[in-house]
A and B are shown apart, each in its own frame.
Chain A
Amino acid sequence: MAEKLLEIKNLKQYFNQGKPNEVRAVDDISFDIYKGETLGLVGESGCGKSTTGRTIIRLYDATDGQVIYDGVNVHDKKSKKDLKEFNRKMQMIFQDPYASLNPRMKVLDIIAEGLDIHGLVKNPKERKEKVVELLETVGLNREHADRYAHEFSGGQRQRLGIARALAVNPEFIIADEPISALDVSIQAQVVNLLKELQEEKGLTYLFIAHDLSMVKYISDRIGVMYFGKLVELATAEELYANPMHPYTQSLLSAIPLPDPDYERTRVRKSYDPANHNYQDGEEIAMREVTPGHFVYCSEKELESLRALSSSK
């Protein structure tokens, strides 16, 4: 595949470190994101997928590990200037379109805030024109610039969130459950918009979600998280056709599909971490079972998984 845009190496995010209530929200995960792809990140609530996204963009300072963007470690100490440049390249779309837009600012100012900070526009006229252009890109129009966030529906607000993220010409966008708060019919509109923008502008996405059917649709590759660990990483087709980690299997078997015949025969698998029976001293890590398909497993499990996949 294409070149790496982002390398995440042994990223750890512990809250309340050293105290009895320490939470290992992200516990030593590593993966790469390639230029122009969409990497989906799925898992149950509390598995650390949002924390991963937020740590990558440095909303949290990582406990340990590296986030290397275009060859530079984001979590190194940096001058304000460097950090600002990095912030321009990496943007975020938030889950809740109601909470993530300032209710006391006009749309014009919400979207232009990034432009102002990075000095991308010279005068008010250019500023307005740029905002209008962005509004049109996301399917809104000129009149919307002078309104406040409460005057918009959920789907429109999420479009504003996307316009704001696009304002500074980012290369990489972290979308943290951008469609969870929207209606089914509106979800498809927003997902299509994200896909179109990706093709047009060559964007790279980290798409965090718990809706597995939507994730499969938008992602090139998908990572599955469980309790702060990445347990499986593969291309979208491969992951759904051939899930290897028992947790992934259980997660996939739990999704109801809009097909009554399928639903009548669907059998749900449950996952019990104790079933692994890991021995003391066994090293458990992400291992490549088939090309491009990584599973969090021990050496022993790796052998049996390889045997299983070659027999298919």
Chain B
Amino acid sequence: MEKILEVKDLELSFHTFAGEVKAIRGVNFDLLKGETLAIVGESGSGKSVTTKSIMRLLPEHSSEFKNGQILFNGKDLTKLTDREMQKIRGKDISMIFQDPMTSLNPTMPIGKQIMEPILKHRNVSKSVAHKEAVDLLRLVGMPKPEARMKQYPHQFSGGQRQRIVIAIALACNPQVLIADEPTTALDVTIQAQILELMKDLQKKINTSIIFITHDLGVVANVADRVAVMYGGKIVEIGTVDEIFYNPQHPYTWGLLSSMPSLDTAEEKLYAIPGTPPDLLSPPKGDAFALRSDYAMKIDLEEVPPFFKVSDTHYAATWLLHPDAPQVDPPLAIRERMKKYPGSRYYEGTEGGTY
């Protein structure tokens, strides 16, 4: 499939009073046309910083691209001037933010806010822009769109505001849509509506979505592929089935087992011990080693490279090295693996490949 965005060896640091925070430490991924790539990880893992660096929304004076490229249609976004970037931002790549309460301008009618990107990026008259804005509102499922164009954000509920933010993001039919925890601030029922809306719109306009979240349930619902981030790196990437049914990295195991499932009654929840690493002085080797039950000596010394599990599935853990001892993942993970042909725990007719 066609690659629309390529992130290569991206490294980014923040300069703070305490020193240099290595927020992203070598991130590689591609975004294919029409797919949804979910990036999961805990706060501080670098998932938001990665996408903000794609949009170039990080403060110029304190952040620094140390290395790497972000290729969009052959152009390296890290090298563009502000002016060039403004032509892309909101037009080819647009973003939906987490908090719909703060990402809208409270002093401006919402119609005007939706018209803004249309007027800025496309050479159309105000009346055309107005008409398109009304259409967009209708598209995102807002009742009585004409009447609501003149209203202000405070006159809408949280779910409606998120719909407006989505309408703004879609105003110029972007090729890439970045959604940074778009449903975290919303209730489950509203969340379900917004997710359905996004999937629906994706089919209609065939945009690619980068979806950032820490809710694995949401990931299972929306994603085609999943990248798991930890300590400023991607530690595992694969299709949604590969990540949920055949995970390889101990961090992915921990993440999946710490979520209670609705059907089983566990005695005790698995909790990943400790806290995320301090990126002021990132740990040597595998950043997760200190919190991992499966850490080996080499994990503390050398950074694991990506090992190939399948054509679409890669994981950065020494456990996949041919010389590594074979370990049994936690029980909850083995249960998941039973469903996946190709895993060595597969319980089915085809038999595993291991």
Contact = CB atoms under 8 A, between A and B. Distances in A.
A191 B258 CA distance: 11
Interface string B42-65: 110000000000000000000000
Contact of A188 (B158, B214, B271): B271
Among B43, B241, B259, B272, find the residue whose CB has the most chain A CB atoms closer than 10 A: B259
Contacts of B42: 183-186
Contacts of B188: 44, 210, 212, 251, 254-255
A288 B172 CA distance: 55
A44 B189 CA distance: 8
Contacts, number: 110
The A interface, classified by DSSP as helix, strand, loop or mixed, is helix
A205 to B, nearest CB: 16
Contact of A258 (B254, B256, B271): B256
Contacts of A270: 189
Contacts of A154: 43
B306 interface: no
B260 A217 contact: yes
A155 B221 contact: no
Interface in B251-288: 254-256, 258-262, 265-266, 268-273, 275
B220 interface: yes
A184 B258 contact: yes
A213 B260 CA distance: 6
B187 A45 contact: yes
Interface string A220-256: 0000000000000000010010000000001100111
B101 interface: no
Contacts of A210: 187-188
B272 A255 contact: no
B262 A191 contact: no
Interface string B197-224: 0000000000000000011111111000
A100 interface: no
A257 B255 contact: no
A155 B260 contact: no
Contacts of B266: 217
Nearest to B257: A188
B271 A259 contact: no
A260 B241 contact: yes
A309 B43 CA distance: 44
Interface string A186-206: 111101100100000000000
Given A216-B262, A259-B244, A183 B220 contact: no
A260 B240 contact: yes
A255 B258 contact: no
Interface residues on B, range: 35 or more
Nearest to B260: A217
Given A153-B275, A256-B215, A188 B220 contact: no
A258 B252 CA distance: 12
A188 to B, nearest CB: 4
A242 B241 CA distance: 29
B258 A256 contact: no
Contacts of B187: 44-45, 210
Interface string A279-291: 0000000000000
A251 B187 CA distance: 10
Interface centre among A155, A255, A266 (most CB of B within 10 A): A255
B78 interface: no
Contacts of B259: 184, 188, 213, 258
A300 interface: no
B28 interface: no
Contacts of B215: 184, 256
A254 B339 contact: no
Interface in A142-188: 153-156, 183-188
Interface string B142-162: 000000000000000010000
Contacts of B221: 256, 263, 266
B191 interface: yes
A43 to B, nearest CB: 9
Nearest to A253: B192
Contacts of A183: 42-43, 214
A214 interface: yes
A263 B220 contact: yes
A85 B244 CA distance: 50
Nearest to B267: A195
A306 interface: no
Contacts of A153: 275
Contacts of B272: 185, 188-189
Nearest to A216: B262
A192 B220 contact: no
B119 interface: no
A256 B220 contact: yes
A247 to B, nearest CB: 9
A296 to B, nearest CB: 18
Interface of A: 44-45, 153-156, 183-189, 191-192, 195, 210, 212-214, 216-217, 237, 240, 250-251, 254-263, 266, 268, 270-271
8 contacts: A155-B275, A184-B216, A192-B271, A256-B191, A257-B217, A258-B219, A259-B261, A261-B241
Interface of B: 42-43, 158, 187-192, 195-196, 214-221, 240-241, 244-245, 254-256, 258-262, 265-266, 268-273, 275, 339
For the complex of A and B, list the 10 residue pairs with the smallest distance between their C-beta atoms, beginning with the closest.
Answer: A256-B217, A188-B271, A258-B216, A217-B260, A188-B258, A185-B272, A254-B192, A189-B271, A183-B42, A44-B187
